[in-house]
Amino acid sequence: MSSDVPAPRPAVTLSTKLYYGFGSVAYGVKDNGFSYMLLIYYNQVLGLPASWVGAGLMVALIVDAFSDPLVGYFSDNLHAKWGRRHPFMYAAALPTTVAFYFLWNPPGGLSPSELFAYFVIVAIAVRTCLTFYEIPSTSLVAELTDDYDVRTSMLSFRYFFGWWGGLSMAVLAYFFLLPQDQGGILYAPGYATYGAIGSVIIFIAILVSALGTHRHIPNLKAPPAKRPFEIKRTVKELKETLGNRSFLVLFVSALFTAMAAGVSTSLNIYFNSFFWELTTVQMGTLNLPYFLSAGVALFLAPKLSLKVGKKYSALLIAGLAFLAAPLPILLRLLDLFPANGTETLFYTLFAFGTVEVTLIITASILISSMVADVVEESELATGRRSEGVFFAARSFAQKAVHGIGTFSATIILTQIDFPANAKPGEVEPGVLQDLGLVYVPVLMLLYVAAFGFLTGYRISRESHSSHLHELTETDST
């Protein structure tokens, strides 16, 4: 078959897991900026209306999302000396770095419409350039090993480093770059420095991961035989590949999860600043236990995969995470949560956040590993290995709908008349109550839908082993 391995694959060592995982630092840095910082920077600091920023983020996400399947498809089919994945990974390093820097350092003197156009164009550039790294890089997991549990372990390292990268930038911002005595989250120079530091980290992470996994190129799956590019055939093959039932339920579940994440992450700093009235130092401190959460998930996800299996572990952990996410705000609306300005409030949020993030990271690892296991089931049905397409399509779902979630968050802010240039402690209590009353049911409905579709996944350890056995028999004939 066209997907035969050119040489026997060596066992996956710890160094391979570390190099593979370290590359996600780049994604973590980007994701922290886009999910938590960009909206408030361009809205409250640079003065663009929240709805404009939300619309710009949504446009950038959707444009980038449509690039994902194309990058995945061409990565699956690339014929090059350095294999199917690494040429894309190397090529993405410098453009992503430059674009990320300029996103946080716009030229002065722009009118609102000019600043909006600049914001959209550069945001699209950052996302699209990083896609050329992230999709091929993530897809390597299904090529480096076909082991049911090793895949989960490798993805644990990827999520661990991704979260550490993003959290490090958050801690850097809240503790050092946005000092409370100089305006906190409204201190413009801090965001410029944030962009400069983040761009350097992105460049290093991409190159280290690409170079560290480069030695595995001779052992990776070979691309299909060269064929002339035909749009009709390409569309037909994409439909065949993405029609896999187990993948479809993961895809739709990801749609709802991403929309919830878009709403949640975009409003996070609004809740922390205005609803809970936390200082930037307290916000930074709340991020510290998440480093531990990533470490716990690094070990917890593989253990659950080994003992319980991926599907039921993911359902259990995701269900608990979905219940925990809106609980503090719901309890505050019911007057069952500690008052603002108290140590009890801070430590309660600290505990809730630690548990919630541990659950979220663990569930994300397990679900990503479930995507990797779809590759062999699909190969049996289509005769093609499509790692890039599967990870790209899931990324497409997350990005496109995350953008809608982000835009929905800005609509919520607009509809409840949340004031521009607001200061913590000066927002009307009724406005803050309205924010919580809209947020909680929206989040819960989206998470219930995501959980429901996740139950439809059908690949188990036993069926995965059967798929590998059938492929081995096919390859030997």
What's the CA angle centered on 61, arms 316 and 449, to 5 degrees?
30
Residue 311 contacts residue 249 (beta carbons within 8 Å): no
Whole-number average pLDDT of the chain: 88
Residue 5 has pLDDT above 60, yes or no: no
Query: 327 to each of 99, 315, 324, 424, how far by Cα in Å?
Result: 37, 19, 5, 22
- The pLDDT of residue 3 is 44
DSSP tag of 327: H
Residue 81 has pLDDT above 90, yes or no: no
- The pLDDT of residue 476 is 59
Q: What is the mean pLDDT of residues 418-447?
A: 90
Residue 41 has pLDDT above 90, yes or no: yes
- The pLDDT of residue 77 is 81
> Percent of the chain at pLDDT above 90?
51
- The pLDDT of residue 310 is 92
Within 173-279, where are the H helices?
A: 188-213, 231-242, 245-270
- Please give the domain boundaries of the chain with CATH numbers for all domains: 14-223+233-476 (1.20.1250.20)
> Which DSSP string corresponds to 145-205?
---HHHHHHHHHHHHHHHHHHHHHHHHHIIIIIS-GGGTGGG-HHHHHHHHHHHHHHHHHH
Residue 283 has pLDDT above 60, yes or no: yes
What does the block give as tokens for 279?
Answer: 């200082």
Q: How far apart are CA 428 and CA 450, in angstroms?
A: 34
pLDDT one-digit tens code per residue, 95-142: 999 999 999 999 988 999 999 999 999 999 999 999 999 999 998 988
Q: How far apart are CA 268 and CA 96, in angstroms?
A: 26
- The pLDDT of residue 229 is 62
Q: What is the mean pLDDT of residues 289-315?
A: 92
Q: What is the mean pLDDT of residues 63-69?
A: 82
Tell me which residue has tokens 């990503």: 368
Q: Which of 4-18, 194-208, 437-451 has the highest mean pLDDT?
A: 194-208
Q: What is the mean pLDDT of residues 443-449?
A: 93
Q: How far apart are CA 163 and CA 435, in angstroms?
A: 27
Q: State phi, psi for 81 to the nearest 5 degrees.
A: -60, -35
Q: How far apart are CA 69 and CA 58, in angstroms?
A: 18
- The pLDDT of residue 28 is 95
With cut-offs at 50, 70 and 90, classify the pLDDT of residue 83: confident
Q: How far apart are CA 315 and CA 320, in angstroms?
A: 9
With cut-offs at 50, 70 and 90, classify the pLDDT of residue 423: confident
First-to-final CA distance of the chain = 10
With cut-offs at 50, 70 and 90, classify the pLDDT of residue 239: confident
- The pLDDT of residue 346 is 95
Q: State phi, psi for 278 to the nearest 5 degrees.
A: -85, 150
Tell me which residue has tokens 């410098």: 94
Residue 245 has pLDDT above 60, yes or no: yes
- The pLDDT of residue 227 is 66
- The pLDDT of residue 477 is 58
319 Cβ neighbours under 8 A, 6+ residues apart:
451
With cut-offs at 50, 70 and 90, classify the pLDDT of residue 255: confident
Residue 233 has pLDDT above 90, yes or no: no
Q: How far apart are CA 207 and CA 193, in angstroms?
A: 22
- The pLDDT of residue 394 is 78
Q: How far apart are CA 37 and CA 31, in angstroms?
A: 9
More confident residue, 1 or 477: 477
Q: Residue 325: left (phi > 0), alpha (psi -120 to 50), or beta?
A: alpha
- The pLDDT of residue 4 is 45
From the number of C-beta atoms within 10 Å of its C-beta (0-12, 13-18, 19+), residue 462 rates as exposed
Q: How far apart are CA 392 and CA 350, in angstroms?
A: 34
With cut-offs at 50, 70 and 90, classify the pLDDT of residue 65: confident
pLDDT one-digit tens code per residue, 193-227: 999 999 999 999 999 999 999 998 888 777 776 76
- Look at 25-34, 42-51, 273-282, 370-379 and tell me which has the smallest mean pLDDT: 370-379
Residue 388 contacts residue 223 (beta carbons within 8 Å): no
Q: How far apart are CA 366 and CA 348, in angstroms?
A: 28
Q: How far apart are CA 141 and CA 46, in angstroms?
A: 41
With cut-offs at 50, 70 and 90, classify the pLDDT of residue 27: very high
